[in-house]
Amino acid sequence: MKKLIIPVLTVLLIGIHGCGGPSTARNKMDNEVTTARDMEMSKEYKGAIHLTKQDFLHKVMNYEENPENWVFRGKLPCLVDFYADWCAPCRTTSPILEELAREYHGKIHIYKVDTEKERELAAVFGIQSIPSFLFCPMKGNPVMTSGIARTPEETEQMFREQIEKILLKSKS
């Protein structure tokens, strides 16, 4: 029994030292460098923007102040993606919308609303299935769509057409 205790204690001590020793300090420094680098990159990043309820009220539409009328508050037309992390079609649309957010930077905003975290927003807009998309032009009423096309390429084309037709009012 004593022969078994000494090797077990040795392994435990090595494990504890490894978890709390110099490597932890190094990991902390690495994390701080990564955080600083991420902050610097975020200044340049022009992808989709995650919204909370408060962000939505400020940047898109304040349904608490104007429950009966649509009053768009944005500076650019926007597309709002109502999604959940567990949703496979939502995971398909995510990289497509990130790419489109960069491509249309300065012309439209692409926002994302996590329906699991922002249940009130999902309820206000009657989200029954995800992904659902709210297209908000500068003037006029928004348009709600849901679902995606059969392939990522067709989904990207679908978004491009809707952005041009609904948000940018281009003649297609």
Q: Which two tokens stand for residue 74?
A: 């944005």
Contact 60, 74 (CB under 8 A): yes
pLDDT at 79: 98
Instruction: Tell which residue, 78, 74, 112, has the closest CA to residue 95.
Output: 112
Give bridge partners of residue 78 from the DSSP assignment.
109, 136
- Does this model's pTM top 0.75? My answer is no
Q: Which residue spans within the chain are E strands per DSSP? A: 49-50, 78-83, 109-114, 132-136, 143-146
The one catalytic residue in 19, 78, 90, 136 is: 90
pLDDT at 141: 94
**C-alpha distance from residue 85 to each of 89, 107, 116 (Å):** 10, 27, 8
- Is 19 labeled as catalytic in the residue annotation? no
pLDDT at 154: 97
**C-alpha distance from residue 51 to each of 46, 83, 111, 143, 144 (Å):** 15, 11, 6, 19, 17
pLDDT at 100: 97
Sequential pLDDT tens for the chain (172 residues): 444 444 433 333 333 233 333 333 433 434 443 344 444 444 455 789 999 999 999 999 999 999 999 999 999 999 999 999 999 999 999 999 999 999 999 999 999 999 999 999 999 999 999 999 999 999 999 999 999 999 999 999 999 999 999 999 864 4
CATH 3.20.20.70 correct for 49-167: no
- Is 78 labeled as catalytic in the residue annotation? no
